[in-house]
Amino acid sequence: MKVVVVLAVATILAASQCHGSEYDRFPLEMVSDGYHPGYPPEVWCPSWRVAVEAHNYINWKTVPSECANYVASYIEGDQYDSDSKLVNQQAYFYAKSLKRTMNDVWIFNIDGTALSNVPYYAKHGYGVKPYNATAYDAWVRKGDAPALRQTLKNYHNLLGLDFKIVFLTGRTIDKKAVTEANLKEAGFHTWEKLILKDPVVYNGQSSVAYKTAERKKLEKEGYRIVGNIGDQWSDITGKFPGFRTFKLPNPMYFIA
């Protein structure tokens, strides 16, 4: 790594001297995957992660290979749980501050939000390897995803405040039975609606488009979306996102 940094610095210096420019252009620092640190991995991998969380770094395909160990340690250590806890806490404090009406709903995404897919990703490089739809699908169909514990706690707290829960997932409708069973098994025992994706209706559409369309339906049916929590920005952007939205951490993959 140090060699790469030294080479990059040397290239930048040489280039800026050649062009007589005080301001070196970023592309000189790029490495193969479009990322280009200038800082060692222990500094720029955290920068990468926070840029993902703050929606600055988008449309990425895989975790940068230099951050493989960093992401694995993050997910398996306390930080992921702590980060998830704080976000869920803020969601609950917000919910508590609201004057609830009968038709108030909270939307929960499922994978990476209510149910953890860490057991799958732990066996597939924590996002360093390209997404494998067949393998992931097979894993989902096993139906034994555990709850993300901080989300489960929040779910129970929101139910305790009498909010209705809507699960809105990118899982397709053929996975309805396994999803229902998995949710219950993991402790999410009740919901107002479980919305799965009809692949015919939403053929080729982005997650944002699909989720926006389904939220619009909810609003038309008379529900008021007060909160919305997901691990992807595509869960909480687009129209009718909810009064407040909450972004759970996920440095393993990006869904547009």
Residues engaged in binding its own copies (CB under 8 A): 22-27, 34, 36-39, 43-44, 46-51, 53-57, 78-79, 82-83, 85-90, 92-93, 96, 152-154, 156-157, 160, 245-247, 249
- Closer Cβ to its own copies, 18 or 133, answer by number: 18
Burial bucket for residue 111 (CB in 10 Å: 0-12, 13-18, 19+): buried
Closest among 219, 225, 222 to 241, alpha carbons compared? 225
User: Least separation, in Å, of the C-beta of 139 and its own copies?
Assistant: 27
Shortest Å distance, C-beta 147 to its own copies? 11
Nearer CB in complex with its own copies: 157/172 = 157
142 CB neighbour count, 10 Å cutoff: 11
Nearest CB to its own copies, comparing residues 48 and 139: 48
Query: For the residues of 59-104, what is the DSSP string, one character each?
Result: S--S--GGGHHHHHHHHHSHHHHHHHHHHHHHHHHHHHHS---TTE
Q: Do residues 146 and 115 lie in contact, with contact meaning Cβ atoms separated by under 8 Å?
A: yes
Cβ 123 to its own copies, closest distance in Å?
26
Beta carbon nearer to its own copies, 27 or 222? 27
Residue 91 or residue 105: which is nearer to its own copies going by CB? 91
Contact 222, 103 (CB under 8 A): yes
- The distance of closest approach from Cβ of residue 29 to its own copies in the complex, given in angstroms and rounded to an integer, is 8
Q: Between residues 39 and 138, which has the closer beta carbon with respect to its own copies?
A: 39
Question: Which two tokens mark 8?
Answer: 């990059």
Minimum separation from the CB atom of position 196 to its own copies (A): 26
Q: At its nearest, how many Å lie between its own copies and the CB of residue 35? A: 8
CB 243 within 8 A of CB 217: no
* Start-to-end C-alpha separation, the chain: 31
Q: What is the DSSP letter of 238?
A: S
